[in-house]
A = this chain, B = another copy of it.
């Protein structure tokens, strides 16, 4: 079955869910343009999630995609958290932050029964997951609602695993992609391959439709992905400068600058590798630092530094999520960008 039929969309283009960088407006605009709008719920509490999803449902009659992380929450390690706060101490001092007064606790919750309750009310056409799939009983619940299930594979092994565990289509996430790597069978970054290598190998390995992600930012990129066997594309970074995105001023400025040419995978902001524009703290501590607490526990320690720096107009401590190809970012409405991308189909 064609991806557009499977998902009930006109154009096999998915706006990548980008938790923290968008609300309902972006999803509505893309879905109304005939592609699949998405919203990332990882940073939303249940009430905010309910309100955002209701706004999408009110804003479009088209299908949309609701995305969740499905990591297993780690056991907090006081020792590791302390070591990490010690590493951040020079910066806390600089900004006059008392490290004893930073609220602890995870910044991102995995998909839960409470979230599934909201889906029961909203009944989205598509639900996508990152970091594998949720526990079986939750997955079964979502499937019973009639939602089509997507998840991201970063290796051939992960694609085969997802196919065996009941997804309807696979997002092949090339290493160029911005934000969190969807990797879940291995934490070895050397397993992560570029779209040119990953996509055709996944297409060959599975029977399901494969959606290309990573580095695709314009109609030429869409056409190239389709040449490599993709059934559709998922595009994130290119939407970040659309007026419907909700990124910070420092993030917006970074995406428009030459700095965006140099991104890196970093675990400093959440504890899991995610791609963002290289900034001060990534240079200072190394983009991957083994002392950073496990996902999502690293989030709370850096949050006050980010807030202080951003208040001064600096992105030194901000996660400036971006793929390796920010050159397709345009400050145009998301519907117009969607139409431009569709020229590559």
Q: How many chain copies?
A: 2
Which of chain A's residues 225-243 have a Cβ closer than 8 Å to chain B?
225, 227-229
Contact A194 B220 (CB under 8 A): no
Contact A194 B196 (CB under 8 A): yes
Contacts of A196 in B (CB 8 A): 174, 176, 194-196, 214-216, 221, 224-225, 324-325
Contact B324 A197 (CB under 8 A): yes
Contacts of A323 in B (CB 8 A): 197
Contacts of A217 in B (CB 8 A): 200
A262 at the B interface (CB under 8 A): yes
With the chains together, A197 CA to B198 CA distance in Å? 14
From A204, A224, A229, A324, residue with most partner B Cβ within 10 Å: A224
1/0 per residue A148-176: CB within 8 Å of B? 00000001110000000000000000111
A248 at the B interface (CB under 8 A): no
Contact A261 B200 (CB under 8 A): no
- CB of A330, distance to nearest CB on chain B (Å): 14
With the chains together, A148 CA to B224 CA distance in Å? 29
- CB of A204, distance to nearest CB on chain B (Å): 6
User: What are 15 A-B pairs with beta-carbon distances under 8 A?
Assistant: A156-B261, A174-B196, A176-B194, A190-B262, A190-B278, A193-B324, A196-B216, A196-B324, A196-B325, A197-B214, A200-B325, A220-B227, A223-B227, A224-B228, A227-B227
